[in-house]
């Protein structure tokens, strides 16, 4: 299965991936080169260089060139992507600012040292170097705060074993690499092994754990002609299967395609900072061009050019590069202390318009762990502890989830039971001897197929309640039963009530059967739920709800990965699969659903701080740009480069302090 995808802590900008490792290296190299530039150049002409010697201008030009081409490369790539998409935003604005500063600064060096132009032409190498450094630092901080190594696609691939047991026509078994398995091959899958590919059972039977793939909490009995999915885990029996899907056709491959498609589509989502940068790009460019033309006509090119350049450089203030990253870093730190791992800051901005909260049942609203809900005799009306003791004795040596549930219940009841040797029966259950008597523990299918007598009304009630049943049989007589069901998480009801109070509509989605889903929905007072959903079904449901408003999806399994990636906000339960976690925007480390409420509060506070910082980081341009262009020149006032530098520094300080005041 080809699902590998290169991933090295990357973040999408303008359709281009930015690598955190590259940004980190570029930042440190650029910073080292910046130090002599700061010592040998002035800030917008407002001070004399600390070091000034013959040829220092040329040295600064060389260092500035290195910083421009080396440190600025990520922004050039991002701007190229934005312009190709006809959506100039942050990367384009940064590129415009550093390009104008570099080109004009090279011109100033030539004018001052080659052509001896008078008066002295001011350069912007100080601004160029610090702007590149701060923008690199800002993006590094942001990526370091929200990105983690790993790939949902790689995690999907790891669900499959590396090898498969291939059966030839003579029935001989040969271990082969999974990539060599093709449709039509016959495979042998032993007890406890992962099923290597999609297929149809041709021989044998077993209870298969499909929870990692479909979300179905109960073990699914498989027999001849039953379909199985690659990545699910075989139970105690041995099965043979004919491969029906592998590589690009397999179930996990299809899930992989859905995840990749959803992630790529969502990565192009424009965030608040990009929208502000886009507006600022057009505004600054327009003001600069108008300013250049007017000053050229009235005062000549030597006056017009510096004025237009000052406008363009002021339009890309240092504060804008830190306005969002500093808030994200602070928000991520606060979230981590609350058990919230933020993976995509764009998710924060969707909360204000959130309308639906779609959530998986098993592992999200319920514990995903079987516990005994009822047990007793089927030959009397008494809650016979002897039934539980006998079944615990037979199951004592098994690690099967249902066996563990039975033995745990016996321990709770303080029942002393033995550990006898039991024998697994393919597709049935197990059998064992206690005091000379042979007992069976079987599934409801065995009871039905062998027409054993049970109270059908009581049997139906237990199944309709979402329970998984195990029956104790002796000499074709059903002696008793144990019913096990998933338990609702204590915080689930409170979560749903709080969401409703905030005007968010909760919806339960599950791969479980309709009766089991209805039981949970009734207990949680949920009117909107859908059951028996495969991954593709869940993703389609998310898309349907997105037509009506913003959607948050909460899940924990492989079957949730496409819908987590597709949703406006994907929330993964920390105890879930790596695939779900890597597909989500947010991870609940403590696996407590009620932490979602903490996230919603943090997201609203974070978005508010982002908006404030963007106003401080770019909003002052409403006044600064017209003044720099010379709107008040007729009355004798023009914003000087020195004043522009002070405003830029002040806005940077303000956004830093404002970010630090973020709290829940």
C-beta of residue 431 within 8 angstroms of C-beta of residue 440: yes
d(CA 584, CA 54): 57
Q: 482 CB contacts (<8 Å, ≥6 apart)?
A: 372, 374, 375, 387, 388, 391, 405, 406, 409, 469, 470, 472
C-beta of residue 131 within 8 angstroms of C-beta of residue 321: yes
C-beta of residue 309 within 8 angstroms of C-beta of residue 104: yes
d(CA 569, CA 550): 8
Please report which residue ranges of 51-124 form alpha helices under DSSP H.
56-66, 73-84, 90-113
> Helix, strand or coil for residue 374?
strand
CA distances to 87, 539, 615, 638 from 281, rounded to whole Å, are 11, 37, 15, 22
Please report which residue ranges of 551-620 form alpha helices under DSSP H.
561-566, 578-583, 595-618
Q: 């899940």: which residue's tokens?
A: 555
Closest CA to 315 of 291, 349, 346, 345: 291
Closest CA to 449 of 435, 468, 429: 429
Q: 348 CB contacts (<8 Å, ≥6 apart)?
A: 331, 342, 602, 603, 606, 607, 610
Query: What is the DSSP code (8-state) at residue 338?
Result: T
Q: Length of the chain in residues, anyone?
A: 664
* Backbone phi, psi, residue 237, to 5°: -85, 170
Query: What is the DSSP code (8-state) at residue 362?
Result: B
Query: What is the CA angle 218-221-222, rounded to 5?
Result: 140
Closest CA to 509 of 364, 368, 358: 358
d(CA 196, CA 161): 6
Q: 């709107």: which residue's tokens?
A: 631
* Backbone phi, psi, residue 331, to 5°: -65, -40
Among candidate residues 9, 57, 360, 592, the one labeled active-site is 360
Q: How many CB atoms lie within 10 A of CB 620?
A: 19
Q: At how many degrees (to 10) do helices 641-660 and 318-337 cross? A: 10
Task: Please state whether 567 falls in left (phi above 0), alpha (psi between -120 and 50) or beta.
Answer: beta
End-to-end CA distance of the chain: 44
Please report which residue ranges of 272-400 form alpha helices under DSSP H.
272-299, 301-314, 318-337, 385-395
d(CA 526, CA 518): 9
Radius of gyration in angstroms for the set of CA atoms belonging to the chain, rounded to a whole number: 33
Active site (annotated) includes residue 360: yes
Query: What is the DSSP code (8-state) at residue 16?
Result: E
CA dihedral 368, 373, 375, 381 (to 10 degrees): -160
> Helix, strand or coil for residue 358?
strand
CA distances to 340, 343, 632 from 332, rounded to whole Å, are 8, 9, 44
* Backbone phi, psi, residue 549, to 5°: 165, 180
What is the number of alpha carbons within 13 Å of residue 580 lying toward its C-beta?
29
Q: How many CB atoms lie within 10 A of CB 496?
A: 21
Active site residues: 360
């Amino acid at each position: 299965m080809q699902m590998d995808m290169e991933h090295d802590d990357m973040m999408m900008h303008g359709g281009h991936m930015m690598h955190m490792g590259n940004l980190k290296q570029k930042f440190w190299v650029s910073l080292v080169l910046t130090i002599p530039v700061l010592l040998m150049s002035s800030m917008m002409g407002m001070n004399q260089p600390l070091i000034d010697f013959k040829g220092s201008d040329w040295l600064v030009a060389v260092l500035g060139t290195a910083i421009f081409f080396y440190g600025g490369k990520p922004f050039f790539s991002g701007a190229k992507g934005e312009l190709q998409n006809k959506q100039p935003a942050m990367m384009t604005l940064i590129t415009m600012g550093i390009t104008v500063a570099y080109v004009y600064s090279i011109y100033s060096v030539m004018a001052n040292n080659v052509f001896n132009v008078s008066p002295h032409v001011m350069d912007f190498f100080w601004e160029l170097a610090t702007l590149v450094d701060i923008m690199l630092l800002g993006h590094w901080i942001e990526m370091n705060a929200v990105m983690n190594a790993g790939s949902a696609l790689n995690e999907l691939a790891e669900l499959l074993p590396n090898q498969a047991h291939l059966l030839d026509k003579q029935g001989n078994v040969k271990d082969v690499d999974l990539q060599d398995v093709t449709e039509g091959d016959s495979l042998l899958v032993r007890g406890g092994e992962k099923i290597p590919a999609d297929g149809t059972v041709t021989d044998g039977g077993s209870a298969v754990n499909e929870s990692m793939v479909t979300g179905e909490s109960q073990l699914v009995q498989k027999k001849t002609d039953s379909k199985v999915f690659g990545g699910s885990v075989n139970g105690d029996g041995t099965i043979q299967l004919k491969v029906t899907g592998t590589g690009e056709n397999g179930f996990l491959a299809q899930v992989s395609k859905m995840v990749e498609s959803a992630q790529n589509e969502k990565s192009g989502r424009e965030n608040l900072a990009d929208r502000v940068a886009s507006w600022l790009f057009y505004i600054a460019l327009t003001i600069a061009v108008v300013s250049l033309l007017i000053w050229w006509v009235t005062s000549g090119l030597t006056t017009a050019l510096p004025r237009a350049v000052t406008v363009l450089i002021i339009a890309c203030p240092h504060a804008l590069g830190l306005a969002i990253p500093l808030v994200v870093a602070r928000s991520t730190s606060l979230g981590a202390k609350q058990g919230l791992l933020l993976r995509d800051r764009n998710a924060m901005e969707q909360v204000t318009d959130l309308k639906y909260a779609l959530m998986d049942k098993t592992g999200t609203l319920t514990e995903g762990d079987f516990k005994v809900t009822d047990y007793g005799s089927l030959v009397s009306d008494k809650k016979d502890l002897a039934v539980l003791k006998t079944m615990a004795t037979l199951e004592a040596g098994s690690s099967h989830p249902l066996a563990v549930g039975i033995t745990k219940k016996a321990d709770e009841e303080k029942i002393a039971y033995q550990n006898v040797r039991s024998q697994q029966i393919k597709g049935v259950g197990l059998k064992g001897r206690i005091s000379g008597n042979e007992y069976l523990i079987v599934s409801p299918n065995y009871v039905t197929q062998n027409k054993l007598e049970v109270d059908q009304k009581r049997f139906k009630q237990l199944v309709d309640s979402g329970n998984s049943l195990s029956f104790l049989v002796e000499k074709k007589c059903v002696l008793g039963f144990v019913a096990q069901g998933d338990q609702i998480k204590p915080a689930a009801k409170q979560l749903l009530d709080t969401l409703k109070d905030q005007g968010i509509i909760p919806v339960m989605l599950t791969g479980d059967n309709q009766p089991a889903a209805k039981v949970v929905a009734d207990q949680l007072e949920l009117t909107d739920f859908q059951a028996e959903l495969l991954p593709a079904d869940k993703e389609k449901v998310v898309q349907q709800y997105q037509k009506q408003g913003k959607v948050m999806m909460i899940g924990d399994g492989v079957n949730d990965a496409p819908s987590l990636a597709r949703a406006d906000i994907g929330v993964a339960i920390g105890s879930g699969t790596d695939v779900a976690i890597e597909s989500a925007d947010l991870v609940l480390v403590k696996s407590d659903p009620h932490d979602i409420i903490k996230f919603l509060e943090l997201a609203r506070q974070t978005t508010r701080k982002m908006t404030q910082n963007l106003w401080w980081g770019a909003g002052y341009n409403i006044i600064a740009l017209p003044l720099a262009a010379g709107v008040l020149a007729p009355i004798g006032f023009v914003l000087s480069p020195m004043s522009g530098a002070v405003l830029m520094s002040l806005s940077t300080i303000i956004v830093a302090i404002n970010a630090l005041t973020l709290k829940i």
